[in-house]
Amino acid sequence: MNLAVEIENLTFFYPDGNKALDGVSFVIPERSKTVILGHNGAGKSTLLLHLNGLYTASRGRVKIFGKVINEENIREIRKKVGLVFQDPDDQLFASTIFDDVAFGPQNLELDKKEILRRVEEALKAVDMWDLRERPPHHLSLGQKKRAAIAGVLAMEPDIVVLDEPMAYLDPRGQEEITAILNRLNNEGKTVIVSTHDLDWALEWADYVVVLNAGRVVAEGDKSILTNRQLLEQNGLKAPLLVKLFEDFEGKLGIPTNLKEARQILRKFIF
Ligand SMILES: Nc1ncnc2c1ncn2[C@@H]1O[C@H](COP(=O)(O)OP(=O)(O)OP(=O)(O)O)[C@@H](O)[C@H]1O
């Protein structure tokens, strides 16, 4: 298994002395769809900000494709790891969406043709090309989130990290973002998402990391999401499917997505 991310004994203190991460170690397989789960304040955002070197470990280290992030390689790392913030207003600041998405490639000092190619490809990937001349503050939240993702895609990263991309979106907005994440993963990118939504995680993820109070309490395949006791002990709500099927455990088994649930029920009923 090739690894996109390796985190070794990562501890992080905020300047006020608050220890937000405490000896965190885990790996993320390359080309996986990974979810980082944890209750409010568990340390998800703090952790994600380490993945492209925006935060620097107080102790321990973070490796991207086997290379420890350090001051010398930080520019290279930022080309490989794109980070989409939870609030798109933290990311969008130019007077048009086009300029916003062009900002990253311009900083790479690429030629004009290449910048245009990247911006067009990124905006088309999130279905925002037609809105490219709009100012960001004239967009809906779902559109802003898609524009923020385009800004990251224009850097052509191998790893895309998104901090709670579904937060505050309606079901349609969530579906649009999920479709984008799936396309990115199908193209071979490693996609890492923090979320509270375990129903969504059960359907989407293939790798899971659970944090509690700045520590890793579980890491591995999505069968973790069927362990109701573990999830609840760590302040999370088990997925509805898991709650429904666990009453029949032994007889039915616990599905790890809706399709499996249908298959189990079909077998049981017919
Ligand atoms: N700038 C800061 N200064 C001091 N402490 C902070 C700061 N930002 C976050 N923290 C603390 O660090 C811990 C981890 O916070 P973090 O935002 O990483 O958690 P989270 O899992 O992303 O939470 P949420 O789900 O609410 O977004 C919390 O105790 C939080 O209060």
Smallest CA-to-CA distance from 177 within 193, 190, 188 is with 193
pLDDT of residue 189: 97
User: By the 8 A CB rule, do 12 and 19 touch?
Assistant: yes
pLDDT of residue 268: 77
Q: How far is the CA of 178 from the centre of ligand 1 (A)?
A: 25
Give all domains of the chain, ordered by start, each with its CATH number: 3-238 (3.40.50.300), 239-270 (no CATH)
Mean pLDDT, rounded, of the chain: 93
DSSP class of residue 30?
T
What is the band of 269 on the pLDDT scale with cuts at 50, 70, 90? confident
* Overall average pLDDT of the 34-42 stretch: 96
Q: Is the CB of 16 under 6 A from ligand 1?
A: yes
Residue identifier of the C-alpha nearest atom 14 of ligand 1? 43
Smallest CA-to-CA distance from 260 within 228, 227, 222 is with 222
pLDDT of residue 117: 96
pLDDT in tens, 61-99: 999 999 999 999 999 999 999 999 999 999 898 999 999
Residue 174 has pLDDT above 80, yes or no: yes
One-letter amino acid identity for 80? K
Q: How far is the CA of 14 from the centre of ligand 1 (A)?
A: 9
* Overall average pLDDT of the 218-230 stretch: 93
Distances in Å between the Cα of 269 and the Cα atoms of 155, 262, 265 are: 50, 10, 6
Best residue among 13, 16, 18, 51 to mutate for probing ligand 1's pocket (most ligand atoms within 8 Å of CB) is 18
Give the list of residues 6+ apart from residue 118 with CB closer than 8 angstroms, or none: 105, 110, 154, 156
pLDDT of residue 251: 66
Q: Is the CB of 29 under 6 A from ligand 1?
A: no
The bridge status of strand 159-163 relative to strand 81-84 is parallel
Ligand-binding annotation for 45, yes or no, is yes
pLDDT of residue 260: 84
Residue 8 has pLDDT above 90, yes or no: yes
pLDDT of residue 132: 95
Q: Is the CB of 41 under 6 A from ligand 1?
A: yes
pLDDT of residue 74: 94
User: By the 8 A CB rule, do 217 and 230 touch?
Assistant: yes
pLDDT of residue 250: 62
Ligand-binding annotation for 43, yes or no, is yes
pLDDT of residue 245: 80
Percent of the chain having pLDDT more than 90?
A: 80
pLDDT of residue 52: 93
